[in-house]
Structure 1
Amino acid sequence: MWVELHYTDRVGRLRAVRVAPLSADALVARVDGSSIGMAPVEKSDLLLIADGSTLRPIPWLDRCWRAISDIYVAQNVRHPLDPRYTAQRVEEYFGSLGLRPLVGVEVEFFVFKAIKMLYRVPAVVAYKLEFVDRSFGRGLDSNYHVVEGVLGGYLDEVALTLRNYFGVDVRSYHHEVASSQVELSLGAKGPRAISDDIQTVKYVAKYVASARGLKATFMPKPVYGENGSGMHVHVSLWRGSTNLFYDPSDDYGISQVARYFIGGLLSHSRALAAVVAPTVNSYKRLVPGYEAPVYATWGLANRSAMVRVPRVLAPSDARVEFRPPDPSSNPYLAIAAILLAGLDGVRKSVDPGESLERSSYELPRIPRERTLPRSLGEALDELASDSDFLKPVFTKDLLEAYVEVKLRELEEVSSVPTPTEFLKYHDV
C-alpha cells in the first residue's frame, strides 16, 4: 500500500510525494523546502504530516490512497507559510468571534483536445489550442448548458469520481458559455475544507482529461474573444444554526450584516485582486463584456456586478457571491482574504451603496478607486497600501513572501515577447 501525500505550495500549485506508511497513524514524509520556495537551503528540511480525515482511495491506482498534508518545520511546529495553515487560522479566528463562515464555489475551466506549445526563449514563443467544441456566439448561439457527447461524458466521470471517491460535494456541473469550457459547483463548507475540495477538483479534472486524451487547464483566459474562467466564491456567515445574512423582511432577503460584508468586499477589492486574481493572465479575463467584473458594484442576480446576491428561496440560501476570483488563485489564501475583507466591512459598518439594476458595462466613466486593477503589478501596489484588514490572520512574513514571489513572476512573464506582439510589431 502507498499513500500519496498532497500539499500546496505558496502560489497554489498542488504537489505530491508517495510514501509507504509505517502505520495508519504515521503518514509522514520529509521534503526539501528549498526546492519549493518554502525554506532556505541551509534550513531546508520540512515535514509533511497527513490530515487523516482526508485519506481517500485513488481509483485509478492499485492500492494507493490520497491524503492532504500540512507542512511543518518541526514536530508540532506548523510552517507559517503553509497556505492550508492560513485557511485553518482564518477558520479559528472567526470561531473565536462566535462566527462560522460557509463557502461554496463555482470552478470554471477549459478542456481542450490538445495544448501545443513551442517555447524556446529567446527564439520562439508560440502555442496552439485544439478545441473539443466551438461556441459561435452568445445567447442562443452559446454553448451554455448544451448537451454534448465528449465533454458530457468527461464531466460525468469527473463529478462521479469526486463524489464517490474523494468526498467532494459536487452540486451541479455543465458546459459553460465559451468553447470547450465547463463548470463544477461545489457545496458550501468551511474555508479549509472547501479549499481542499478545490485542489481535489483540479487533481481529478486534470487526470481524467489526460486519461481521455484531453487537456484540462485552469488558466483564467486561454482564449481571446471568449469568456474566461472564474472561480466565483459564495459566502454566508453563521452563528450557531442562524444564517446572519438572512432577513425575510428585506426585498432581497439579505440582512444589514450581509450588506456590510458586501461593503467590505467592495472597499478592499483592489487589494484583494492581488490574491484572488494573482496572475498576469487574470487581468485579460477582467475586462468588460465577458460576464467578469470590472467595477466595484453589487446587485441582485447581476452577473456584471462584482458582488452578486443570488435570489433567496430559503433562509439557508442567503449569501453573497464574489465574482473576481479565478482558479489560478491559491484557494487557501484567496478564501481567507475574502472572508477577512468582508468581516472588516461588518466591523466598520461599510455601506456598499445602492444596488445596481443594469449592466455595469453600461455605466458612465467610473472613478479609478471603484474599478479593479488593470494588471497584476497594479494589484500588488494596491495590496501594499491596503493590507491591514488581513493582519488578524496573514502575518507580515506571509504577505512579504507572497508579494516577492508574485513580483518575480510578473517580471518573468512581462519580459517575454508574446505572439500578439509579433503580429503587431514585427514589421514596424
Structure 2
Amino acid sequence: MDKQQEYVLRAIEERDVRFIRLWFTDVLGVLKSVAIAPAELEGAFTEGIGFDGSSIEGLSRVSESDLIAQPDPSTFQILPWRGGHHGTARMFCDILTPDGQPAAADPRNVLKRALAKAADAGFTFYTHPEVEFYLFQALESEDDPLVPVDNAGYFDHVARGQGHDFRRAAITLLESMGISVEFSHHEAGPGQNEIDLRYADALSTADNIMTFRSVVKEVSIQQGFTASFLPKPLPGQPGSGMHTHLSLFEGDTNAFHEPGARYQLSPTARAFMAGLLVHADEITAVTNQFVNSYKRLWGGQEAPNYRCWGHNNRSALVRVPMYKPTKGQSVRVEYRALDASANPYLALAVLLRAGLKGVEEGYELPEEAEDNVWELSENERRALGIQPLPGSLEQAVTAMESSELVADTLGEQVFSHFLANKKQEWRDYRAQVTPYELSRITLI
C-alpha cells in the first residue's frame, strides 16, 4: 500500500468518515457515484469495486459488462456539504476491466492517454477554465418559466445580491476541498455568474470541473435556486460557455513563451494554435455536444463561431490574452467555443490532441484576425479565409465522423457510442414541434 492510500485510510479514521463516495463519469460527462463503507476501502484500493458497466452510458457493451472502479487516493476530499457528526468523502475513480487494464471507454482514461502522448513529446498540459452558469428561481417542474434571480449585468455589484451570497458559499466549499478559485463575478446575462478555477494540470482541471458542477448544484439547492449549465437557456441573452486557457510546459519552462516574439508566442504556441483552428470543425461535437450548444454558438451575444485567432480579440475562436512582458510563464492561448456542459475529460483530450497535431506536423498559423469578425460581411470573411464552425449538432457530428484525429483520441468504443448518441439526439430534436412553429399556426 502506497503512502497516499495510507494517508486516506488514516484521515477517514481520524475524521470519523462513515461514507466514501466513488465518482466517475459516463461518456456524456454525467457524474456517477457509488458509496462504500470505510471497512471496504482498503479492498477497493487493491481490487476495486465491481459494477455493471453496460448500465452506464457508453461505458461497456452488454457482452463486456463487468467493470471495476478503482479509487484514486490523490483525489480524496471530504464533501463539506454533507454535514453532521459523521462525514462523507469522495474520490474519483479509474475504470478498469476485470483483468486490471484501463477501460477503453472510461473518459478519464481517454484524457490520460492524451496526456501520455503529450508526455512522450516532452510536454505537460495546463489548463484554466472560466465557468459560466445561470441561477434561476427554484423550478417545481420542467414546465415552470425560467426566472433569473436578478436582472444584473456584467461585473455589476448588487447590494445584498443573491449572486454574491451564492458565489461566496460556492467558493468557500470549493476551497475547503482544495480547489483554488481565481476570480468570480456577475456575468452579462440576468442571473448569470462566472467562477474561474486556477491553472492546473489538465487531469486535475477535469476532476475539478466535475466537482465544481456538484458544488454549484448543491449550493443552489441549499439556497432555494436552480442552477443550470445549459449553453443557451434564455433566448436573447448571452449563453454560458467555458472559455479555457491552454499551455504546454517542458519541465518548468513554458513552451509557449519566446521572448521578443510577436505576443511572445513561440513556434510551438503558433503551431498548437494552428492545430486548434485546422481541427476545430472535427472536435466541435465534443466541445459543444448538445443541440442547445449551437443556439449559443450561433445565437449572438459574443459567442465565437468562426475559425480564426486574434490578440485580445473576443470575436476570435482562439484568443491570445493580453500578456505581461515580465511574466513569460503566463503566456497562453484561450479556446472560446467550449461549453460549460461538455464532458471535460473528452473535451480537454481533443483540444490537446488537435494542438499537438499542429506541433507534430508543423502547421502554419494563418494571419491574425484584427477586426471584429462578426461585423465583417460573408464576402470579407471568405476573402480572409475565415470559415464558420458547424452550425448545428448534425453538421458537427458529420465533421467528427470523418475525423481520424478524434477517432484516435477517443478510441473506437467512445467514438462510436458518442456518435450514435449524438445522432439520436439530433433525430429526437428534429422530430419536435417547437413553440416558434406553433406561434405561426394562424399565419399558415
TM-score, normalised to structure 2, is 0.89
**2:389 matched residue in structure 1:** 372
Cα distance in structure 2, aligned partners of 1:77 and 1:183: 38
SS at match of 1:26: helix
Q: C-alpha displacement at 1:302, in angstroms? A: 1.0
Count of aligned pairs between the two proteins: 413
Q: C-alpha displacement at 1:424, in angstroms? A: 2.8
Residue among 387, 394, 411 paired with 1:395: 411
**1:59 matched residue in structure 2:** 80
Give the counterpart letter for 2:331 in structure 1: A
**1:77 matched residue in structure 2:** 101
Where do 4+ consecutive residues of structure 1 move more than 4 Å?
A: none
The answer as to whether partners of 2:282 and 2:406 remain within 8 angstroms in 1 is no
Answer yes or no: is 1:419 the counterpart of 2:419.
no
SS at match of 2:39: coil
SS at match of 1:128: coil
Deviations 1:353-386 (A, max 9, x none): 121222110122134981100000100101122x
For structure 1, the residue ranges without an aligned partner over 5 or more in a row are 119-125, 136-141
Cα distance in structure 2, aligned partners of 1:75 and 1:155: 44
Q: C-alpha displacement at 1:32, in angstroms? A: 2.1
The answer as to whether partners of 1:116 and 1:128 remain within 8 angstroms in 2 is no
**2:130 matched residue in structure 1:** 106
Cα distance in structure 2, aligned partners of 1:352 and 1:227: 30
Q: Percent identity among equivalent residues?
A: 35
Answer yes or no: is 1:240 the counterpart of 2:251.
yes
Q: C-alpha displacement at 1:31, in angstroms? A: 2.2
Answer yes or no: is 1:4 the counterpart of 2:21.
yes
* Segment of structure 1 superposing worse, 60-69 or 196-205: 60-69
* Segment of structure 1 superposing worse, 280-289 or 10-19: 280-289
Q: C-alpha displacement at 1:348, in angstroms? A: 2.0
Q: C-alpha displacement at 1:288, in angstroms? A: 6.2
**2:329 matched residue in structure 1:** 316
Residue among 342, 348, 362 paired with 1:329: 342
The answer as to whether partners of 2:407 and 2:415 remain within 8 angstroms in 1 is no
Q: 1:69 to 1:348 in 2, by over 3 A?
A: same
Cα distance in structure 2, aligned partners of 1:100 and 1:75: 29
Cα distance in structure 1, aligned partners of 2:99 and 2:180: 32
SS at match of 2:60: coil
Q: C-alpha displacement at 1:74, in angstroms? A: 1.3
**1:382 matched residue in structure 2:** 399
**2:237 matched residue in structure 1:** 226
For structure 2, the residue ranges without an aligned partner over 5 or more in a row are 1-17
Give the counterpart letter for 1:46 in structure 2: L
1:168-183 alignment runs, 5 A limit: 168-183=179-194
Cα distance in structure 1, aligned partners of 2:102 and 2:441: 50
Q: C-alpha displacement at 1:190, in angstroms? A: 1.8
The answer as to whether partners of 2:60 and 2:105 remain within 8 angstroms in 1 is no
Q: C-alpha displacement at 1:404, in angstroms? A: 1.2
1:241-260 alignment runs, 5 A limit: 241-260=252-271
**2:31 matched residue in structure 1:** 14
Give the counterpart letter for 1:51 in structure 2: D
SS at match of 1:110: strand
Residue among 56, 77, 100 paired with 1:36: 56
Cα distance in structure 2, aligned partners of 1:379 and 1:127: 31
Q: 1:347 to 1:421 in 2, by over 3 A?
A: same
**2:304 matched residue in structure 1:** 293
SS at match of 1:329: coil
Answer yes or no: is 1:405 the counterpart of 2:425.
no
Cα distance in structure 2, aligned partners of 1:55 and 1:105: 22
The answer as to whether partners of 1:29 and 1:48 remain within 8 angstroms in 2 is yes
Give the counterpart letter for 1:329 in structure 2: A
Give the counterpart letter for 2:425 in structure 1: E
Q: C-alpha displacement at 1:426, in angstroms? A: 6.2
Residue among 349, 356, 360 paired with 1:343: 356
**2:174 matched residue in structure 1:** 162
The answer as to whether partners of 1:117 and 1:128 remain within 8 angstroms in 2 is no
SS at match of 1:416: coil
Give the counterpart letter for 1:52 in structure 2: P
* Segment of structure 1 superposing worse, 171-180 or 244-253: 244-253
Cα distance in structure 2, aligned partners of 1:396 and 1:264: 22
**1:363 matched residue in structure 2:** 376
Cα distance in structure 2, aligned partners of 1:349 and 1:81: 30
Q: C-alpha displacement at 1:52, in angstroms? A: 0.9
The answer as to whether partners of 2:134 and 2:148 remain within 8 angstroms in 1 is no
Cα distance in structure 2, aligned partners of 1:364 and 1:7: 45
